[in-house]
Amino acid sequence: MGRIGYHTASSAVIAYQLGLDVTANNIANVNTNGFKASRADFADLIYTERNNRNEETQYGHGVKVDKTNMLYEQGILKHTERKLDFAALDDGFFGVRTLGGDMMYTKDGAFYINVTDNTLRDSNGSYVLDYSGNEITVPYIDGLPDYDAIREAVGIFTFQNPYGLDQQGRNYLEATESSGEAAAAPQIKKKQGYVEASSTNIANEMTQVIEYQRAFQLNTKMIQLHNELEEKINSLR
């Protein structure tokens, strides 16, 4: 007996498990500032002709996760009243340089002042950059940080294809050949005293969980049914 049905259902179990992993990550980051949810895109696998005498009889071989795409919908802006919190609107990103010297980009604008060297840092300790890609040294007036000057200094960057950015963890994105190089974008607005919330939509994600779970269960039943049929056929020999 052929194993096409078994392998087809097995591929679906694997694919929907990966889909659930993507959805679980979205839900886990529902309270992560600036987080952009991802979506798993599925694609069917190859088709073969079971009977060469009838070319119209084709059998599929399952499904796979073709790719994951980030969803760049603007998250809700949360008013924090904290003068070192910023939200980059639309397709704008903040530029940071990690302590290891890597250039990264983020939508998380919750910054702080490092009192050791008076530089503006993000929650990972990376240096926040100005429009020229330089580290920002915080200016002071009468012993207090000049928050207006800080707002003007914080750089905003855009990409020709933000969907080509590579996720690096820690809320960081890295430029790739597909995304193109970062370009300073002073025309993009930024709001002080706000942070951008996660773009995760819990209602949509829970709907996705139910859909994946049912598809997962149905395909495991298909595997079980295929094994039972094979056992019965083998017992007839």
Per-residue pLDDT of the chain (237 residues), as tens digits, is 457 788 899 999 999 999 999 999 999 999 999 999 999 999 998 777 666 565 667 777 899 999 899 998 899 999 999 999 999 999 999 999 999 999 999 999 999 999 999 999 999 999 999 999 999 999 999 999 999 999 999 999 999 999 999 999 999 999 999 999 999 999 999 999 999 999 999 999 999 999 999 999 999 999 999 888 888 877 876
**Cβ neighbours around 126 below 10 Å, total:** 23
C-alpha dist (Å) from residue 97 to 39, 85, 185, 186:
28, 18, 18, 19
- Residue type at position 120: L
Tokens 């820690």 belong to which residue?
170
Do you know the residue count of the chain?
237
User: What is the model's pLDDT at position 7?
Assistant: 86
User: What is the model's pLDDT at position 2?
Assistant: 56
User: What is the model's pLDDT at position 237?
Assistant: 62
Tokens 């994946």 belong to which residue?
212
Whether 205 and 38 have beta carbons less than 8 Å apart is answered as no
The neighbouring-strand residues paired with 144 are 141
What is the rounded CA–CA span in Å between residue 111 and residue 127? 10
User: What 8-state DSSP symbol labels residue 162?
Assistant: G
What is the rounded CA–CA span in Å between residue 13 and residue 62? 10
The separation between the first and the last C-alpha atoms of the chain, rounded to the nearest angstrom, is 12
Residue 223 CB partners (closer than 8 Å, separation 6+): 6, 9, 10, 13
User: What is the model's pLDDT at position 122?
Assistant: 98
User: What is the model's pLDDT at position 52?
Assistant: 59
C-alpha dist (Å) from residue 144 to 93, 148, 149, 150, 200:
27, 11, 12, 12, 37
User: What is the model's pLDDT at position 54?
Assistant: 59
Whether 170 and 200 have beta carbons less than 8 Å apart is answered as no
In terms of Cα–Cα distance, which of 84, 112, 85 is closest to 195?
Answer: 85
| Spacing of C-alpha 144 from chain mean position | 38
